[in-house]
Structure 1
């Protein structure tokens, strides 16, 4: 309690910047202050906490064990404080230093994140957008716990305190290498289930939905391999005789355009929905309302 009485809250912003950027110079640049000012703030914080917090390493500053313990609570405290101060004042993206944290998923990082960053940059937004990997916990679990601002999912959430809206609907297509020995221009129902497939490891529940749908149409795919990285699917297809069923946007990534052929599925397939999810506590958060509007505006823009 004595520390809080004398602690300048700006020191916490400096701590967060050094932890995020990994160096004094980068932190100073992100905060728009001088390097000596950052060094002085770090010195004061070290004295208040009684720990070095960051030590010089081969590249930049390495956090101590104590710094790692403080990083999460400090970031959350700054977020809560920023949200509280923004309530009733609106949100000015050109002045805010807020860090939005979202789980885009691996496919979203390849497609949606770059489009959103282009839009934010065009609006002179000073807020930061951090992409969070949903490894230990799913994006839905992180949203439900209030740990991140939002996430994307292919499955509509069923939790009362998690709000959502449909972001997009994507057509599923088949990709095969351009010189495939048996598949050219089109694919029959029989060919589709005779050939081997590359599938993506995006969760058993989601894959089961697709497999159940295909089973009802008279077939089960023969799996050559399951990949974790989305870009690995078209890469493997381009170098083997395997097929893959992917969203149209993935099939048209420029890097694979000359190596793949894009084919219609040999049976009717529903569009694949994508949902934007957020915790209901952010409904009245001006910053999140603004960011959500920027995200939803991408529904009407081209890649």
Structure 2
């Protein structure tokens, strides 16, 4: 059925006037009359009858009106409601972004190939992550870099004050991330000097788990510095400088080039960059 017929019918039903419906639609009264006759032919029943100088709906019109209005509302909501962008954001930076009305944030998958496949398939609209690619289909902006910090519980028995040496770092028990990149651990990816053996006794799948494990044990862990500052007081954690030379972790904004000029996409990209730059 032509949706325009349903819209015309609902207006005629609401105002019980072909003339008022025509004025609202910006068409002639004969055009409205023709549309109603066409709809009556489709449903097989009269919808309006003359009543004095006006018209009145038939019982068939009354039964159709509610269903037609509901259908029009559903279609209008689908077409004109704000689209929510689906965004992968590295978990350690989610606290800096807060709520964005038209965005839903998710933690990126470990599988980077899956991440880019989902961008291509428009299942994900934007990615904020440490990963990158040489695929020319994607736009990649460097928007931030995060220093790596060491965390431990404040009353750790072997770490006195803020003194933390390289020797002590290697003597302590460590929590390590389960996820690897190209077979290398998180620290191996960003270390700028040869690494010695570390006594890894626990593993964490994300920075939140890393922080909680460090807070409840004598192990040390590695997190983004901004994440550590956000949660140190709440989890009774101590933040220590990284004694092993490491480069900062680069954060990229990644999206398909077909979205470069998308107005909503551009607005959210700029908002995210503003909030991350405020760290």
Could you say which TM-score interval applies, normalised by the shorter chain? 0.5 to 0.7
Q: Distance in 2 between matches of 1:208 and 1:286?
A: 38
Q: 1:40 aligns with which of 57, 62, 70?
A: 70
Q: Distance in 1 between matches of 2:244 and 2:156?
A: 21
Q: CA deviation at 1:194?
A: 1.7
Q: Rg: which structure is higher? A: 2
- Which residue of the partner structure matches residue 11 of structure 2? none
Q: Distance in 2 between matches of 1:146 and 1:243?
A: 39
Q: Distance in 2 between matches of 1:101 and 1:214?
A: 32
Could you list the runs of 5+ residues in structure 1 that have no partner in the other structure? Answer: 9-35, 46-77, 83-94, 121-126
- Which residue of the partner structure matches residue 288 of structure 1? 265
Query: TM-score normalized by structure 2?
Result: 0.65
Q: CA deviation at 1:290?
A: 1.4
How many pairs does the alignment contain?
A: 214
- Which residue of the partner structure matches residue 233 of structure 1? 210
Q: CA deviation at 1:170?
A: 0.9
Query: TM-score normalized by structure 1?
Result: 0.60
Contact conserved, 2:192 with 2:246, CA < 8 A, in 1?
A: no
Could you list the runs of 5+ residues in structure 2 that have no partner in the other structure? Answer: 5-65
1:106 equivalent to 2:91? Answer yes
Over residues 231-284 of structure 1, what are the superposed CA-to-partner deviations in whole Å (9 max), with x where a residue is unaligned? 111111111010011111111124644611111111332111110100011112
CA-atom RMSD in angstroms: 3.4
- Which residue of the partner structure matches residue 166 of structure 2? 189
Over residues 19-75 of structure 1, what are the superposed CA-to-partner deviations in whole Å (9 max), with x where a residue is unaligned? xxxxxxxxxxxxxxxxx8899339999xxxxxxxxxxxxxxxxxxxxxxxxxxxxxx
Contact conserved, 1:186 with 1:264, CA < 8 A, in 2?
A: no
1:130 equivalent to 2:115? Answer no
